[in-house]
Structure 1
């Protein structure tokens, strides 16, 4: 086949993929409004659509191979698409009312259809997420198959392939369980909302507003990066996507101002990762949390506000101290905020709308659809932001494509959740964790933090949270941590792999933009993102989760957390207003540990020490200025 004919076939597949992606977005909106398809029908249809799109857009062999190899891969992809379509049809039309299959087992054709979906889901996971998640799913499936051959302490009943397929495919317990339900419902709609924000120019408005607010201050571009990431990260669904989007603008400006390349990359990575814990959307994991805990999303949103503000306050403090140490100033010229608002104030309306509706406990799916409509209406209301029909369809296409790795990851995470439920390994893991930690909350938190970093090296944040919550939350609740606090701790710690060496994905993405060493960027990001470790500790040992604590405890927890952040930042950076003496740094370290103890008789003296050290440091800076 000639090169021109190969190109024509490739172009046809690209057009077909765009059509399928737009059709998927239309189907998702229709289902969100009508909601007339049952879970055993809707979820397999959604996953089959996603798998077909993955095989269309992510070839088995890319075009760097020879034409023959590339064409062979595309032929295999077409076979995969046909197999997915046939198997999904068999699953959707399966007669669940005839319960004889529970006693007699599945037919050979039903088993084949289930096996096809299971295998091709893992192949799609390999292409979109990576091999690590495939290996984790395979490990859990192996445990379900051969658990009876293991020692008694970790053994389980060995299940047959027919029993595994019946449980994971022909029920809503495995692949088509809660994780995929969230991805196929509310998460898809909010990813689509985020795509519309980008194509309408709303994303640029938030970045411009951030520079107007913070650009003129010391280290302005870095602070603007934090603010922009807080605004965009909560709706982008991906720390890496947020890093690339805002970092393309902010990282070069930070370097130009005087930040070292690794510092600029670290700031952007820490800020972008923080967007995943910032209301109102908080990425995909918070919706999964609502499903797992049974707590309304509006309540999760409310309790997340204070910790998120504390996290970004921590990051801004480090950014400021770094700017002071480097002697950096703000930007010479910035657009006035009034000018930016005059140009793009209408883009704030959809965010206000979805936040209000979520707080009023409306269905998150309908809220997301309302947000999509609102951003399009807002864009069309003013001449300079109106979009064409082609841009609209581009947003529909991009929304579907951005959702692919999330849906695939959640489907595969459902395998892990299903095996835990089918075998009962979750209880054994809890007992193991308790024995290893000696029953101490500190030890359990440390083990969970290590597990979160390890899991996050190969899993997306949402998948890491799902796996870790199933395995680790029971250990926390057994030690007296409230259910919501336990899930929030795991949710926060699941973010840490984006900024923690040796594999810090967001930091590595930022390092590419900054043209610096990935490891140096990861070290800076780890330092700047300390809030991901400090704040979960305070959630465990204090009343930082507002709904689970009293007003006085909540207020003291906030004061203690602020004190802890200031103390550690001052100790690590060696300055507050000006350079700190070794004695002052030692006092701040002592005060920080006093905050961690979280007791009235330790927190108050700790806060007093911080105030005294800060006051003396301020006095020292004024004397240096006069001198």
Structure 2
């Protein structure tokens, strides 16, 4: 297995969304177009990417005029890429129907651009054409969303529209006066509170530029550089293959922000490597699923939900990224510790030295400068206070210039062709995110129009009787249920609308409340029964998905505690005195490691149930606020460590069972 093997995303490009649904959604069915139509796909994708590069350079158009072309081009591209119902797929009828749908998209999106001044005027009164064009666009958007992520999300949007329309028929406190079809259509289509709302605006500016930046970076060699760096940093240690997956996913998360993209990219390499080293199939899939999920919370470039969070909170993206630094490190520390203990327990070894690349290769200036230079520029611009969209644009410009000057392709024409491929694949990568966000705007508009979000928050508070811990448990459950079967960004948007307000009313900081639901929206991707990220990883590892999911839960159990830490230790999001922040971070790190040891059943050596309970108690004491509890937890952990050291000295050295690392039966 050569260390320089190209990874998946450098063949596919973008954020993986062109090949899988974003954030772990169900894999869509791709259609087969006639040969004469095939050039339209790269043409539309390139037009979409160039539109965003143009607006990044010269400034975004006014809200609807920026968002309508963004959504429209993504809808057209999705109709070309994704197959309709099976009975229509591949037939002339399907092409004719989709031709009509594409025409409807062009007319409806073009109409709001042309009519922008009238729509935004103070005396706006909707015409009959506005109403029916709004209905048409909404139906097309629901159909395209169904093709991309399945039935669940569009049916949820339809349910909220039905609730808005049939409001008087609902019982008790859930009843409302109801919204007419004309008013629903007006809100969704002829205002900037519906399909063209705030979250779509984030997609049409910030997220679009970051997807383009990430797509070009990975296409031009960044993905392989990250993988080589991960191999060098962790491949030589116990369980090296699994640790490579963890490090690579954290590095790749800085430009991907999508669990599906992480799995599709790093998983192609790391799962094959773990299989070759004799790791169980379910273990290989679980490691990749858990590590890849964390990429969405890894600064400096987190998932799409983080950009949306910044907009909803009315803060800069840099504030969100800084608040997420310690929690992200906690997440990967807990995963790394669990993987280490499991690798020791099963006797998994290191990566072969010949497969560990030399720093001279991947840190050579001609290869590393086009990767790390633009990343450094991006972080510098964000720290200096530039908007994320502006920072991403200049980082992308620097990346393209550096690659054209220093790229590994031998000819200038070859490098230019590679950049064009990166733009095309980045355009494809925008499709799923943009469509999901536009569809989620339907739900958000109906929540705001009916007041159901306020009622839901009141319900959570009344059920928990103002008890914070119980409220957090309820919020966790709701966020994870919303996230099951949905991409993270969509799940977070819904949870932020109906759960986060309840937590804020219980005196949580807005950043705490939103990060809490965001983390559990992410973790739902590895939680059965609808653990979409696990499905992808298990399929790549050819493992039983249920065994993979159970093992993923074991590896990530400590990470499930991290959101509670954010609530009881606001210092972890950099709120408080520096000394308190350092103390909370250190005890949090030690506590998550202790919990991982308890979960896996290994510290220095095998841990029985009694010792595992002691380790769990130590973890809880370290996590709980207060110096006395920290001291108690540290004493319990040190005592457990000392006991295990004595046991290991007395125990006769035993060679790990030859069967421990054997591949499990299918």
TM-score by length of structure 1 reads 0.94
- Which of 350, 359, 362 is residue 340 of structure 1 equivalent to? 362
Q: Deviations over 1:181-203 (max 9, x none)?
A: 11111111111111112221110
1:108 corresponds to: 128
Q: Provide runs of 4+ in structure 1 moved above 4 Å.
A: none
Aligned to 2:76: 52
Matching residue within 119, 122, 126 for 1:96: 119
Aligned-residue offset at 1:460 = 1.0
Residue 9 of structure 1 and its aligned partner are, at CA, apart by 6.6
Aligned pair 1:183/2:207, yes or no?
no
CA–CA separation in structure 2 for the residues paired with 1:394 and 1:585: 52
Q: Find the aligned partners of 2:32 and 2:303 in 1 and give their Cα distance.
A: 38
Q: Deviations over 1:463-486 (max 9, x none)?
A: 110110111111111112111111
**Is 1:540–2:567 an aligned residue pair?**
yes
Q: Go from structure 1 to structure 2 and tell me whether the alpha carbon gap of 1:544 and 1:257 turns closer, same or farther (over 3 Å shift).
A: farther
* Conserved 8 A contact 1:538-1:557: no
- Is 1:379 the counterpart of 2:406? The answer is no
Higher alpha-carbon deviation: 382-391 or 276-285 = 382-391
> Within 5 A, what are the aligned runs for 1:166-181?
166-181=186-201
Aligned counterpart, 2:306: 286
- CA-to-partner distance for each residue in 1:395-441, whole Å, 9 max, x for gaps? 11111111111001111111111112212111111111111222222
Residues 495 and 231 (structure 1), Cα distance of their counterparts in 2 relative to 1, 3 Å cut = same
- Aligned partners of 2:476, 2:409: CA distance in 1, in Å? 44
**Partner Cα separation in structure 2 for residue 403 and residue 237 of structure 1:** 13
Instruction: Say if 2:495 is the partner of 1:474.
Output: no
Q: 2:106 — aligned with what?
A: 85
Compute the displacement of 1:126 (Å): 0.7
Alignment check: 8 A CA contact 1:179 1:410 kept: yes
Moved more, 473-482 or 74-83: 473-482
CA contact (8 A) 1:200 1:376 kept: no
What are the within-5 Å matches in structure 2 for residues 508-587 of structure 1? Answer: 508-587=535-614
What do residues 534-569 of structure 1 show as CA deviations (whole Å, max 9, x unaligned)? 110101111244343333432332233223212222
- Using a 3 Å threshold, how does the CA distance of structure 1 residues 583 and 538 change in structure 2: closer, same or farther? same
Distance across 2 between alignment mates of 1:75 and 1:420? 36
Tell me whether 372-381 or 411-420 shows the greater mean CA deviation.
372-381
Distance in structure 1 (CA, Å) of the matches to 2:348 and 2:288 = 17
Alpha-carbon distance between aligned partners in 1 of 2:160 and 2:587, rounded to the nearest angstrom:
41
C-alpha displacement of 1:34: 1.6
Q: CA deviation at 1:533?
A: 1.6
Q: Is the 8 A contact 1:14 1:57 kept in 2?
A: no
Of the three residues 91, 95, 120, the one matched with 2:140 is 120
**Aligned partner (choices 148, 164, 184) of residue 144 of structure 1:** 164
Confirm whether residue 447 of structure 1 aligns to residue 455 of structure 2.
no
Work out the CA distance in 1 between the residues paired with 2:653 and 2:478.
Answer: 52
Q: Distance in 1 between matches of 2:646 and 2:385?
A: 50
In structure 2, the partner of 1:154 is 174
Over aligned residues, Cα RMSD in angstroms? Answer: 2.0
Give the Cα–Cα distance (whole angstroms) in 2 for the partners of residues 213 and 281 of structure 1: 21
Indicate if the aligned counterparts of 2:242 and 2:339 stay in contact, CA closer than 8 A. Answer: yes
Deviates more, 1:464-473 or 1:51-60: 51-60
Tell me by how many angstroms 1:72 deviates: 0.5
Counterpart-to-counterpart distance in 2, 1:211 and 1:414: 41
Q: Kindly provide the CA deviation profile for residues 344-401 of structure 1, in whole angstroms up to 9, marking residues without a partner as x.
A: 3212111111112112221111111122222223323335256433222211111111
Question: Following the alignment from structure 2 to structure 1, what is the Cα–Cα distance between the partners of residues 608 and 550?
Answer: 25
- Describe the superposition over 1:162-195 as per-residue Cα deviations: whole angstroms up to 9, x where unpaired: 1111112111111111111111111111111111
What does 1:241-280 align with in structure 2 at a 5 Å threshold? 241-280=261-300
Matches within 5 A, 1:203-214: 203-214=223-234
Task: Kindly state the Cα deviation for residue 320 of structure 1 after the two structures are TM-superposed.
Answer: 0.9
The equivalent residue for 1:435 is: 462
Q: Distance in 2 between matches of 1:411 and 1:279?
A: 25
TM-superposed CA distance for 1:293, in Å, is: 0.5
> How many residue pairs were aligned?
615
Point out the more displaced range, 388-397 or 260-269.
388-397
CA contact (8 A) 2:238 2:348 kept: yes
1:452 CA displacement: 2.2
2:26 maps to what in 1?
A: none
1:209 is paired with a residue whose SS is helix
Could you tell me how far apart the structure 2 residues matched to 1:129 and 1:574 are? 38
Question: Are 2:633 and 1:611 equivalent residues in the alignment?
Answer: no
Matches within 5 A, 1:305-320: 305-320=325-340
1:369 has 2:401 as partner? no
The question of whether the paired residues in 2 share the 8 Å contact of 1:594 and 1:606 is answered with yes
Match of 1:588 in 2: 615
Q: Which residue of 2 aligns with 1:217?
A: 237
The residue number in structure 1 matching 2:434 is: 407
Q: Which has the higher helix share?
A: 1
Contact 2:68/2:109, CA 8 A, preserved across alignment: yes
Q: Is the 8 A contact 2:72 2:109 kept in 1?
A: yes
Which runs of 5 or more structure 1 residues have no equivalent in the other structure? Answer: 1-6
Change (3 A) 1:594 1:9: closer
Alignment pair present for 1:501 and 2:528: yes
28, 32, 40: which is aligned to 1:16? 40
Tell me how far apart the structure 1 counterparts of residues 645 and 384 of structure 2 sit (CA, whole Å): 45
State how far apart, in whole Å, the 1-side matches of 2:284 and 2:231 are.
15
Are the aligned partners of 1:191 and 1:237 in contact in 2 as well (CA < 8 Å)? no
- 1:231, distance to aligned residue in structure 2 (A): 0.8
